[in-house]
Structure 1
Amino acid sequence: MSQPERYDARGPLPVLAYYQMLGRLSAADLAKERSMLASLPGSPNTQIRQAMVIAHPRGAQETAKAMAMLEALLKSGDTQAIELQPVARLLMDHYAERLRLESQIERQGGQLKDSQRRVQELQEKLDGLADIERTLRAPSRSGKGGGQ
């Protein structure tokens, strides 16, 4: 797909092909792609592509901003926007799920840190009790040994 066709091709299939093409780009190429899209007129075709680029995992990952762009496209009555709305809805669902999973990972990471901290505290208490037990046993052993 040539450079102009990449941005001008309309409809769901070229947009899906564009999404697939993004997966092969490096972070630097994604940044270039973002700049290129920013220089184009703000058509629904460009908006959906911008949303894909800014939410890409190897890019800036501005998922909330991408979702806002897609939401605007979903509310639009423009013929081109209506044509892209099924793909926009799919992307919205995908990005919402990604945000949910990222939030869950963050929460679980916090829970893991809390659990590790509690394990460390309990280990310190256990070590302290073991030290107390050793000091209590030590005099009684020496006392038995000295009396015989």
Structure 2
Amino acid sequence: MNVERRRAAMLLAGVWALSACSLQRSAGRGGDAMPNAEPVVVVEQASPLAAGDVNLRAILAFYRNSRGMSASRLERERDALRGRVSDPLDALRLAILLGHRRSDLVRALGLLDGIARSDSPQAVALQPLARLLSDQYAERLKLETQTEKLGSSAREAELKASEAGAEIDALREKASALQDKIDALAEIERSLPGRPAPPVPMRGNEQ
């Protein structure tokens, strides 16, 4: 085995030496080099991890920019992305835009859930952010639902209190009217002439 390794090393060294000599001769000839020779371009394919990092940075920048969009701009962006939700990056963009309105939170959660369930490399790279947004949207939906319920209960209680107040005011008016009638009757009674006193019987009549 050691002999074979030494032979292989010697062969590699020979090939390297021949290549070096060839390069030196080509450099020495200068303009005599073959005109059709083209430089070799080595194209390195981006790794899924690097592509995921680029997508994550892009979606974070999109999230920041979306906070300053006007209502009309948000609507245009939503319309442009609605037909491209099969792409995880566009689906996440649309979920971010839908998260601006409470009425669209349920649909945004559906898109985020689809990204979280996907096993495509692009979706996997975006899943941490998708889960974070999903937790935030779910908490917002829960709080806003509770707020609506409390507001509804408060309005109902206010309505009941208003109705009770109206009933109390009506009872007070009735009591006041009755008191007025009693006062009027008392005034009439005071204005009537007094009755004559009964006659005192005589003693002689008593026998």
- Normalised by the size of structure 1, how large is the TM-score? 0.80
Q: How does 1:47-126 map to 2 (within 5 A)?
A: 47-57=91-101, 61-126=103-168
Moved more, 40-49 or 26-35: 40-49
Tell me if 1:33 matches 2:77.
yes
Letter in 2 for 1:49: R
Q: Which moved more, 1:74-83 or 1:29-38?
A: 29-38
Residue 120 to residue 38, structure 1, CA distance change in 2 (3 Å): closer
Residue aligned with 1:62, SS: helix
- Which one has a bigger Cα radius of gyration? 2
Question: 1:12: Cα distance to partner?
Answer: 2.5
Is 1:132 the counterpart of 2:184? The answer is: no
CA distance in 2, matches of 1:83, 1:76: 10
CA RMSD of aligned residues (A): 2.3
Taking a change above 3 Å as real, the CA distance of residues 145 and 61 of structure 1, as seen in their structure-2 partners, is closer
Per-residue deviation at 1:127?
A: 1.0
Map residues 1-20 of structure 1 onto 2, 5 A cutoff.
Answer: 10-20=54-64
Q: Any unmatched runs of 5+ in structure 2?
A: 1-52, 192-207
Closer, same or farther in 2 for the Cα pair 1:38/1:115, shift >3 Å? closer
How many residue pairs get aligned? The number is 139
Distance 1:145 1:107, change over 3 A: same
| Higher relative contact order, chain-length normalized (CA < 8 Å, sep 6+) | 1
Within the candidate set 187, 194, 199, 1:145 is matched to: 187
Runs (4+) of structure 1 exceeding 6 A deviation are none
CA distance in structure 2 between the aligned counterparts of 1:13 and 1:20, rounded to whole angstroms? 11
Contact 2:112 2:130 in 1 (8 A): yes
User: In percent, how many aligned pairs have the same letter?
Assistant: 29
8 Å contact from structure 2 (residues 89, 122) kept in 1: yes
